[in-house]
Amino acid sequence: LEHELGDPNSSLRVFLAKALDGGLRADVARLHDGVDELNTGAQRLNAGLVQLSDGGDELAAGTNRLAAGTDRLQAGGQELATKLREGTTLIPSWTPQQRTEVAKTMAAPVGLDIVNTNPAATFGTGFAPFFMPLALFIGALIIWMLLTPLQSRPIVNGLGALRVVLASYWPGLLVAVCQVAVMYAVVHFGVGLNAEYPLATVAFLVLVAGTFLAIIQAFNALFGVAVGRVVTLAFLMLQLVSAGGIYPVETTAKPFQIMHPFDPMTYAVNGLRQLTVGGVDSRLWVAIAVLAGLLVASVAASAWAARRNRQYTMERLHPPIEV
């Protein structure tokens, strides 16, 4: 005891010094705080152990489900293998020729069977129904440049209007018939057009030439020779673009599609197409009726103009335009 009390570094003296200067109290306070921290850590450890226990239960349940799924996966794999073995027995064994035929079928599953009942033998055969009426119209225009559309002397002498028109029309028609004969001979022997109905084609061409001749005569009789030629040329331009002789009329502008049914050359082209390559139907008879009606109407208009021309005026004696 004397040694413990006499030695300043002894455990007793150190304890008494800390007790006197408050060091022991601080150590006790730190010990108390450490106990609190230990208690808090123990509580967190307890909560973590509870979570670990719950996770273990979930892991055990998932492991059970995994085991059950593994069994189903194994059964499905066995079923797939069985079906694949059965499928291999259903695959046909084809010869090289059969494989080639199947490849051709898959490459072209649909075949096109084209049947042309009235083919045009040559390119010119397809265009002839358009260019022959065009040549006849230009020929009729030239005929009335060489001949007088209406003769003045019979009109002045009081001859009937229809007889006056026919007196000028028949000579022109004879020239037009000769034109038809020459033109058909050229396209048949020179170009190689072999019409399906040659006699009917020639007769229809005569009707077309007569109709165009009467139409141009009516223009000259109604408007005068100078103005009538201008009207004739304008009428020719409208016919060319609306007849549908080169391209289908559906590919042209809307105004030309509207004029197409009223174009005389439309019916000339339709009739010649059926007579040259075959396939006659109602369109041919409609074309004949329309052209014949236009011929009669044009002759009637020329007769009316001849009757009107019996009266002379200063304008007729001194026309503003002369040729």
In angstroms, rounded to a whole number, what is the distance separating the alpha carbons of residues 143 and 137? 10
| pLDDT interval class at 321 (50, 70, 90) | low
pTM: 0.62
Mean pLDDT of 146-166: 76
pLDDT, position 13: 67
**Chain mean pLDDT for the chain:** 83
Q: pLDDT band at 315, cuts 50/70/90?
A: low
The pair of three-digit structure tokens given for residue 314, joined into one six-digit string: 């200063």
Alpha helices in the chain (DSSP H): 2-6, 11-21, 23-90, 96-107, 123-146, 152-156, 161-185, 198-223, 225-242, 254-259, 264-277, 282-308, 314-317
Residue 146 backbone dihedrals phi, psi, to 5 degrees: -90, -30
DSSP states of 116-178 as a string? -SS--SSHHHHHHHHHHHHHHHHHHHHHHHHS-SS-HHHHHTT--HHHHHHHHHHHHHHHHHH
Residue 164's Cα: distance from chain center in Å? 54
Domain boundaries defined on the chain: 2-82, 123-317
Other Cβ atoms less than 10 A from the Cβ of 177: the count is 15
Per-residue pLDDT at 155: 65
Q: Does residue 44 register a pLDDT over 80?
A: yes
Determine the Cα–Cα distance for residues 304 and 121; give it in Å rounded to an integer: 46
What integer pLDDT is reported at residue 314 of this predicted model? 56
Q: What is the per-residue pLDDT across 10-27, written as a single tens digit (0 to 9) for each?
A: 776 676 666 666 666 677
pLDDT confidence of residue 192:
82
pLDDT of 33 over the 60 cut: yes
